[in-house]
């Protein structure tokens, strides 16, 4: 699997950190009463893994992260916490390739679903239907745009560390009926002087709530909104529970 984050990994974890300040409370709430094992799909540098560990004490956590670059951030984060080191297993495969526990208490897929094409999503829904234990659930977010469209360039991150400041910029354009391409620019300033500029592109599959509901329905699953509306968070459970 190509590592789409190979060149941007140094920026991704620090730039996503502020979003986790907003995501952590509703994710913790959505995981209330869950028992393990919990899978963190595309754990990145482990911001969410840390939230899961706090929300579901003592549960086994499997953090799946195929990007070697981001996985090194994740492993360092796990290694530095006695609490995480004891119960987080990091797997280097993609979610659909990883050897996961046969029974799952929860699956968390934050900021990652757009990496899966429609066939891949069907395999995710099958896996949930087969492996979630009674009371088990998935928590995921749908990020805008939910249909292919042009997104004008805007700054999504501005982080100062020491004498350096890191800016993240993003724009998107349609790349097919269900796809967009995100173009990201990461700029580094030293004492406010531009010293580095990195451009990367990511392929992203878009999905809206109507289609999510229809796809899940085919597997006996149903989504419900959770948390503040602007976060686009969904709880997925067996239909009728
Ligand atoms: C935008 S990052 C989000 C990271 C993390 N979930 C967070 O919110 O901080 C998307 C992550 O999905 C991972 N990813 C991409 N394809 C994947 C796949 N097939 N299976 C599991 N993870 C995948 C990437 O390597 C990356 O770490």
Q: Start-end ranges of CATH 2.20.25 in the chain?
A: 151-205
- Does 227 contact ligand 1 (Cβ within 6 A)? no
- Does 66 contact ligand 1 (Cβ within 6 A)? yes
CATH dotted code for 9-142+207-238:
3.40.50.150
**Structural tokens at position 7:** 């060149």
Average pLDDT over residues 142-146: 94
Flag whether pLDDT at 228 surpasses 80: yes
Give the number of other CB atoms < 10 A from CB of residue 128.
23
What is the DSSP annotation of 152-210? EEEEEEEEEETTEEEEEEEEEEEEETTEEEEEEEEEEEETTEEEEEEEEEEEEE---HH
Evaluated on CA atoms 65, 66, 70, 74, the torsion sign reads positive
Q: Whose CA is nearest to atom 1 of ligand 1?
A: 111
Q: What is the pLDDT of residues 95-125, one digit of tens each?
A: 999 999 999 999 999 999 999 999 999 999 9
Domain 151-205's class?
mainly beta
pLDDT at site 136: 97
Average pLDDT, rounded, for the chain: 96
- Does 41 contact ligand 1 (Cβ within 6 A)? yes
Q: In what helix (H) or strand (E) does residue 140 lie, and over which residues does it extend?
A: strand 132-141
Q: What is the pLDDT of residues 30-88, one digit of tens each?
A: 999 999 899 999 999 999 999 999 999 999 999 999 999 999 999 999 999 999 999 99
pLDDT at site 2: 67
- Does 71 contact ligand 1 (Cβ within 6 A)? no
The answer to whether the CB of 5 falls within 8 A of the CB of 203 is no
pLDDT at site 218: 97
> In a 3-state reduction of DSSP, which class is residue 33?
coil
Q: Whose CA is nearest to atom 16 of ligand 1?
A: 115
**Structural tokens at position 210:** 């109507």
pLDDT at site 104: 98
- Does 141 contact ligand 1 (Cβ within 6 A)? no
pLDDT at site 114: 98
Which ranges in 38-108 belong to alpha helices (H)? Answer: 47-55, 68-79, 82-87
Distance CA 226, CA 18 (A): 20
User: Which one has a higher pLDDT value, 5 or 104?
Assistant: 104
The verdict on whether omega for the bond into residue 2 sits within 30 degrees of 0, i.e. cis, is: no
Q: What are phi and psi of 186, to 5 degrees?
A: -110, 120
Which of 2-6, 66-70, 219-223 has the least mean pLDDT?
2-6
Tokens 């911001």 belong to residue: 47
Q: Start-end ranges of CATH 3.40.50.150 in the chain?
A: 9-142+207-238
* C-alpha distance from residue 190 to each of 7, 164, 170, 194, 241 (Å): 20, 5, 21, 7, 54
Quote the percentage of the chain above a pLDDT of 90: 95
pLDDT at site 1: 60
The answer to whether the CB of 88 falls within 8 A of the CB of 108 is no
**C-alpha 28 – ligand 1 centre gap (Å):** 19
Flag whether pLDDT at 14 surpasses 80: yes
């Amino acid at each position: 699997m190509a590592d789409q984050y190979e060149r941007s990994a140094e920026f991704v974890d620090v730039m996503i950190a502020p979003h986790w300040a907003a995501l952590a409370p509703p994710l913790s709430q959505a995981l209330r009463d869950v028992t393990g094992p919990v899978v963190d799909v595309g754990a990145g540098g482990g911001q969410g893994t840390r939230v899961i560990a706090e929300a579901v004490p003592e549960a086994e956590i499997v953090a799946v992260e195929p990007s070697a670059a981001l996985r090194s951030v994740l492993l360092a984060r796990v290694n530095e916490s006695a609490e995480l080191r004891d119960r987080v297993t990091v797997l280097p495969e993609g979610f659909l390739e990883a050897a996961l526990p046969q029974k799952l208490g929860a699956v968390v897929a934050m900021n990652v679903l757009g990496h899966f094409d429609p066939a891949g999503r069907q395999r995710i829904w099958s896996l949930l239907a087969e492996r979630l234990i009674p009371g088990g659930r998935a928590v995921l977010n749908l990020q805008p745009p939910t249909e292919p469209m042009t997104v004008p360039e805007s700054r999504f991150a501005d982080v100062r560390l020491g004498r350096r400041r890191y800016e993240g910029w993003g724009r998107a354009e349609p790349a097919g009926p269900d796809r967009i391409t995100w173009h990201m620019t990461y700029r580094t300033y030293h004492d406010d002087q531009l010293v580095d500029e990195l451009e990367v592109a990511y392929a992203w599959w878009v999905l809206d709530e109507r289609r999510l509901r229809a796809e899940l329905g085919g597997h006996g699953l149903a989504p419900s909104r959770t948390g503040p509306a602007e976060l686009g968070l969904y709880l997925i459970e067996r239909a009728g529970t």
